[in-house]
Amino acid sequence: MIKSSLNRFIRALFQTNSGWTRWIVALILLAYFTVQNLSFVKPVRDYLDSATLSVKIGSTSLTAFELINGIMTLIAVFWIASLVAVWTERSIRNFDKLELSTRSLIIFALKILIFFIALMISLNSIGIDMGALTIFSGAIGIGLGFGLQKITSNFISGLILLYEKSMEVGDLVELTAGDAGFVRKIGARFTLIETFDSKEIMVPNEDFITDRVTNWTYTNTQGRVEIRLGISYESDIEVALDLIVKAATEHPRCSQTPPPQCHVTEFGDSSINFLLYFWIDDVTEGRLEPKSDVLRAIWKKFKDSNVVIPFPQRDLYIKNWHEKS
């Protein structure tokens, strides 16, 4: 219970939309940096700052007071950095002259720079010698190479996606698994895809670099709709072709460039089969509705013109065998 509450508090510490946390942190920091300079606190401060309560990090020796002061400074610096990061993000997002992907890339890079600078300022304020950190460089390298391999790969893949603009927020994409939906967010670790049934899929950025992904709106929003159907052998092929094309052309979402096309594909067992192509201007509005409307229009035109859509049927012949006397 206490651990979960502490975790929620730490997460909220770096979220500027958490108003109560902002005020609590501000009050704690203000109280700490004010009280430590008061005279009645000086004995406690001197005791914590004595050599008897000290730890050694590399070649640097830190007293208990320096550690406490460093932690409070760390919180203060990172809190200010988070405010600066959010202010920067809001300012860049409102800069409409830049494309959305360019703004996301700039925000991404600036956040990393801001928090890196905050970390360096914090370590320097504690008094840790930067050269002492080289002791841990080997372990950090191994950790990045093994434990953080996927995280690093997804992070770099996210930067590539934002830089190349092969996929942007709002694009309609289809994954190799068959899931299709709109890109809602490209983050440091994953890309958020919202499907047509309102599912939100978090796809690792690396998958968009290593796997094949269909982007329906990469260069334009036009999309093709296919309809397969057949007529009976007693019906007129030319009349059927004309009716099918007319049903597609009359639909309000059907594009005339290129115009609808219908072809005879094969002579089946019980039908002459056709394949209709027609294009819609905005595939993000969906392809199922225009396909359904055109099928209904074809059905109506076929009924009015006595064009028959066959269905499989079997004839059973019964023969009587007379026994020889």
Model pLDDT for residues 29-73, shown as the tens digit of each residue: 777 777 766 666 677 766 666 666 666 655 566 677 777 777 777
Phi, psi for 247 (deg, rounded to 5): -65, -40
- Summarize the confidence of residues 302-312 as an average pLDDT: 90
Task: Choose the weakest-confidence range: 2-6, 60-64, 287-291.
Answer: 2-6
User: Which region holds residue 165: left if phi is over 0, alpha if psi is between -120 and 50, else beta?
Assistant: left
Torsion sign across C-alpha atoms 206, 209, 210, 212 = positive
- Summarize the confidence of residues 183-205 as an average pLDDT: 89
Residue 97's identity, in one-letter code, is K
User: Would you state the pLDDT for residue 158?
Assistant: 82
CA distance linking residue 242 with residue 178, whole number of Å: 34
Under 8 Å between Cβ of 204 and 139: no
pTM of the model: 0.57
- Summarize the confidence of residues 176-187 as an average pLDDT: 88
Under 8 Å between Cβ of 251 and 290: yes
User: Would you state the pLDDT for residue 214?
Assistant: 92
User: Would you state the pLDDT for residue 128?
Assistant: 60
Assign 182 to helix, strand or coil.
strand
Phi, psi for 323 (deg, rounded to 5): -70, 140
296 compared with 154, residue with greater pLDDT = 296
Model pLDDT for residues 213-253, shown as the tens digit of each residue: 999 999 899 999 999 999 999 999 999 999 999 999 999 99
Residue 59 tokens, joined: 């070649």
- Summarize the confidence of residues 287-316 as an average pLDDT: 90
